[in-house]
Amino acid sequence: MATLRLGDIAPNFTAETTEGTIDFYNYLGDGWGVLFSHPADFTPVCTTELGATAKLGEEFKKRNVKVLALSVDPLGKHQEWINDINETQNTVVNFPIIADADRKVSELYDLIHPNASETFTVRSVFVIGPDHKVKLIITYPASTGRNFNELLRVIDSLQLTANYQVATPANWQSGEKVVIATSVKDEEIEAKFPKGYERVKPYLRLTPQPNL
């Protein structure tokens, strides 16, 4: 399959996981999803990443986001690894981990990059919207752990900008001012953004976050 790009429909699949057999679309329901891959079980960086994800479980839930991890190791190995994660990261893994031993899902999502490794999946993240379209793709090298607080920040931006004609500026955090989309005419701003706005330049207009 060709590499997935932003706006593409995320492929559906059925897979064995640590929480039973799931259908990806059914698992997501009408909410958002995060699918993230790991090079292998019992690896140090992955152990910290799954622990960090579990600790943020309530934050994902507040945003109507379901999380799903993947590696090419078998189910039994996943179950043993979860014990290590819970012990060393002082948490409880509260989301499914796909056992993709046949690499079916890895191939659907182009997670094996031969120039990095011919056998292990890369450290990729996909954010999937309620319309099943890919909203975000980030791929890290195996040596670099992901920033899951940044992932929450991006989800906040994606969910905000899906409902309002705004964009979020550099380093934006929820609660800060946002940029009014250039497609909004000046004469439309008062009706669309009653909290007021600051005109920095004709193309740069700031307004308080509209959903707060």
Number of other residues whose CB lies within 10 A of the CB of residue 63: 16
Q: Does residue 113 sit in helix, strand or coil?
A: coil
Residue (of 133, 175, 169, 124) closest to 151 by Cα position? 124
172: three-class secondary structure by DSSP: coil
Catalytic pick among 4, 15, 28, 46: 46
Gyration radius (Cα) of the chain, Å:
19
| Token reading at 18 | 């640590």
φ, ψ for residue 166, nearest 5 deg: -140, 165
Query: What dihedral do alpha carbons 54, 58, 63, 64 form, nearest 10°?
Result: 80
Other beta carbons within 10 angstroms of residue 98's beta carbon come to: 26
Helix axes 44-55, 75-89, angle to 10 degrees: 70
| 18 Cβ neighbours under 8 A, 6+ residues apart | 75, 78, 79, 82, 93, 96, 97, 99
For residue 82, give the 3-state DSSP assignment.
Answer: helix
Active site residue 94: no
Positions marked active-site = 46
